[in-house]
Amino acid sequence: MSGLRSWVAELRRRGVTWAKIGEALGVTRQSAWERFSGEE
Give the per-residue pLDDT at 2: 75
| pLDDT at 1 exceeding the cut of 60 | no
Task: Find the radius of gyration of the CA atoms of the chain.
Answer: 9
For 5-30, write each residue's pLDDT tens digit: 999 999 999 999 999 999 999 999 99
Please tell me whether residue 15 adopts helix, strand or coil conformation.
Answer: coil
Q: What is the pTM of this model?
A: 0.83
